[in-house]
């Protein structure tokens, strides 16, 4: 007798995934924002020290940002995603379109949820109000991006100098760090990880065949470690495959997780009871 090892449900906070396309998504969102505070990690007497260091994109990095941004629409259009209102999600060459509208739709939902939970939104200049059950909406997306701020240089994930944590992720028994995108290999140094490993690290490649039906995805409105496009793509692709997806964003929270554990446990309890995994008392 063998036990079933299928995953029943997934809880993902701030998912850093879809790495082959994450650099393009990041520049689609942050292109034109050149100043940022990068995270510097050092070790002193076995204690990890993290500090933010002010930095600016070089002219070369600005050029790379433009290139990555211009490549993102073709990726989005090739996914053939369908949004919440049944529309096909696409982008034009300039990065505008129904996919961008979908991202803003989720931001609007998140803002109104925060408002109903008692959060004061009056200081957020990029938000506007109207007479509605959900009064707040993002009137200035560029203003939201300035509030969010760039958190990484170019490229954000597949660093040309092989210094990112993701470069290290794709290391092997002989090489500590490797590239995992054609862009990184083109402008960088070092070798490329093998295609099979790159494929296996991307959940997007397995959604259609995954038996996992229940997904809870949380992202933060102040998270600039990856583009908001990444969790929106993941959640939408799962929904398009008929999965049960609970997707929401925490307002005013940065990159991290475990900030709503009571809600997470309630979600898990409800799922197992509804699906007969355990009997209700």
pLDDT of residue 44: 66
CB within 8 A of 100, min separation 6: which ones? 91, 141
CB 114 within 8 A of CB 108: no
- Separation of first and last alpha carbons in the chain: 30
Question: Would you call 230 exposed, middle or buried from its count of C-beta atoms within 10 A (0-12, 13-18, 19+)?
Answer: buried
pLDDT of residue 279: 52
Where do the domains of the chain lie, and which CATH numbers do they carry?
A: 9-157+202-274 (3.40.50.1820)
pLDDT of residue 249: 86
Q: What is the pTM of this model?
A: 0.91
CA atoms of 110 and 118, how far apart (whole Å):
13
> CA 86, 90, 92 angle in degrees (round to 5)?
145
Per residue in 95-153, pLDDT tens? 999 999 999 999 999 999 989 989 899 899 999 998 888 899 999 999 999 999 999 99
Q: For residue 152, give both structure tokens.
A: 């990484």
Neighbouring C-beta atoms of residue 172, cutoff 10 Å: 12
Q: Chunked in runs of 10, what are the mean pLDDT values of the chain (281 residues)?
A: 80 93 98 86 68 89 98 98 97 97 95 91 92 89 95 96 94 96 94 96 92 92 93 97 92 77 90 75 51
**Cα–Cα separations (whole angstroms), residue 258 to 16, 45, 110, 216, 219:** 15, 29, 17, 12, 11
pLDDT of residue 189: 85
CA atoms of 139 and 128, how far apart (whole Å):
6
């Amino acid at each position: 007798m063998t036990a079933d090892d299928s995953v029943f449900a997934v809880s993902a906070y701030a998912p850093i995934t879809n790495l082959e396309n994450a650099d393009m998504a990041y520049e689609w969102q942050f292109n034109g924002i050149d100043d940022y505070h990068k995270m510097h990690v050092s070790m002193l007497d076995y204690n990890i020290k993290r500090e933010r260091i002010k930095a600016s994109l070089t002219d070369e990095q600005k050029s790379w940002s433009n290139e990555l941004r211009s490549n993102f629409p073709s990726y989005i259009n090739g996914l053939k995603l369908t949004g919440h209102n049944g529309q096909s999600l696409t982008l034009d060459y300039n990065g505008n379109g129904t996919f961008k509208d979908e991202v803003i739709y989720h931001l609007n939902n998140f803002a109104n949820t925060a408002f109903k939970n008692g959060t004061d939104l009056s200081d957020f200049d990029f938000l506007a109000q109207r007479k509605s059950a959900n009064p707040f909406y993002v009137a200035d997306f560029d203003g939201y991006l300035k509030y969010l701020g760039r958190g990484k240089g170019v490229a954000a994930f597949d660093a040309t100098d092989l210094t990112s944590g993701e470069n290290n992720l794709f290391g092997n028994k002989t090489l500590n760090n490797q590239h995992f995108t054609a862009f990184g290999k083109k402008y960088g140094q070092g070798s490329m990880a093998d295609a099979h490993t790159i494929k296996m690290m991307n959940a997007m490649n397995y959604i259609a065949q995954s038996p996992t039906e229940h997904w809870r995805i949380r992202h933060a409105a102040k998270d600039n470690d990856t583009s908001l496009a990444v969790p929106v793509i993941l959640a939408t692709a799962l929904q398009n495959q008929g999965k049960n997806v609970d997707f929401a964003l925490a307002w005013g929270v940065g990159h991290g997780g475990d900030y709503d554990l009571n809600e997470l446990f309630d979600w898990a309890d409800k799922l197992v009871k509804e699906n007969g995994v355990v009997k209700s008392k």
